[in-house]
Structure 1
């Protein structure tokens, strides 16, 4: 991996099964990876290659089901590729699922400490930022409420508040912000801009063209699991709109 890149993806592919009957057997899980697609399996991504330098802001574009969220999970190392490689040289703060990393039976307070701790923050650092995190999420009255009892919007609030306070250089944001109300989204977007101004690297998945143009300078266009275009975001959006008559 070139030292100038913080992320390097080379011919990456990942496949999933369509139903339980097509699941791989125990031997398959521990044997060498095969390029052969078994019955019932499909490639969610294949032959994807690109590099990212520190401080780039990248919008990931495509219709639903084309591999956008899967790509973010590969970069976050939540998933591993079945072929090719994904190399990430810096830490990642992922906001790619509403409940990602949070435990339903634990309180909001405990989840803040757990999630931030798993991302390398010390207890002293979390103590120092705890009030700020809760205030940003605007859930002061629910600090000792089990996480599973929060609404979807409240879960987004606390997840973003925690993730955006991490020191990780790479930020991954999926469509989850669409769940929140407009006022809170605007607050999140101001925070994202602060992170970009501070030199963070951003991967941003959205169907909102205005937001993509606002935050991103570069675009990755995925279609049927393939990377069909890697170019300035304006060019990528023009191609995407032309392809699908938007």
Structure 2
């Protein structure tokens, strides 16, 4: 990928969900094509969303709850598939979304680090070389050989952030993870993200925290009712968002 090619390219993106079991799509519907009439009980979480993200961009995604922000992040991460349009991602992603998912309660912390890092593409040698740093960052040195399920929720989040932030992927996806943990650890996370951005990583950041958005992002995407209402410098987007909902 050259510096002029988009790191993330989104075209005509649409995602549809069901509110309940009524209106469930049949197998015939699933193979009938991308554009279909909305059935009873279905709604569009995102519709006709298009934008590009360049390598090194720092993008903040804003909007009220239920406007499609986390859905958009999951589409970029490859967790969800669109009903309409397409998402093209050039390069790997380091997903800080639902970050405690994928850990196994009965395995030890040590075993979980190796498992989680391996699932994200780290080799055994890379995991071994970074293991001490991962544990030290998470501040759980004395719990390495304890079953993961016995960690507190805060410890689990610290461990997950520590693993994912060690990945070498060029695109960093973040969804409200900085809202958890104590103040000292949040600042530690901020500093780590600053380091990654200084390396030229691309940031795609969903948050309700205006201070965090202004700190990390230069550009904003404002989602309203599942559509892209504004794509502009982050300060302008936040001003528009605040004006709409204050």
TM-score of Structure 1 vs Structure 2, range by shorter chain: over 0.9
Higher mean alpha-carbon deviation, 126-135 vs 16-25, is at 16-25
1:93–1:172: 8 Å Cα contact kept in structure 2? yes
Q: In the alignment, what sits opposite 1:172?
A: 173
Q: In the alignment, what sits opposite 1:122?
A: 123
**Deviation at 1:30?**
4.2
Q: Which deviations, in whole Å up to 9, do the C-alpha atoms of 1:131-180 show, x marking residues without a partner?
A: 10010001112223333332221121011101100000000111122121
Instruction: Give the 5 Å matches for 1:67-216.
Output: 67-216=68-217
**Deviation at 1:11?**
0.5
Work out the CA distance in 2 between the residues paired with 1:205 and 1:52: 14
* TM-score (norm: length of structure 2): 0.94
2:99–2:161: 8 Å Cα contact kept in structure 1? no
Q: In the alignment, what sits opposite 1:220?
A: 221
**Deviation at 1:99?**
2.3
**Deviation at 1:23?**
3.0
Work out the CA distance in 1 between the residues paired with 2:96 and 2:106: 20
**Deviation at 1:51?**
0.3
Aligned to 2:112, what secondary structure does the other structure show? Answer: helix
Work out the CA distance in 2 between the residues paired with 1:31 and 1:145: 51
Aligned to 1:20, what secondary structure does the other structure show? Answer: coil
Work out the CA distance in 1 between the residues paired with 2:53 and 2:203: 10
Q: In the alignment, what sits opposite 1:57?
A: 58
Q: In the alignment, what sits opposite 1:12?
A: 13
1:156–1:177: 8 Å Cα contact kept in structure 2? no
2:93–2:171: 8 Å Cα contact kept in structure 1? yes
Work out the CA distance in 2 between the residues paired with 1:183 and 1:52: 31
Change (3 A) 1:21 1:110: farther
Compute the RMSD of aligned alpha carbons. 1.7
2:11–2:87: 8 Å Cα contact kept in structure 1? yes
Work out the CA distance in 1 between the residues paired with 2:24 and 2:177: 29
2:22–2:40: 8 Å Cα contact kept in structure 1? no
Gaps of 5+ in 1: none
Higher mean alpha-carbon deviation, 28-37 vs 78-87, is at 28-37
Gaps of 5+ in 2: none
Q: Which deviations, in whole Å up to 9, do the C-alpha atoms of 1:174-231 show, x marking residues without a partner?
A: 1122121111000000000000000000011111111111110000111111110000
Change (3 A) 1:225 1:104: farther
Change (3 A) 1:55 1:211: same
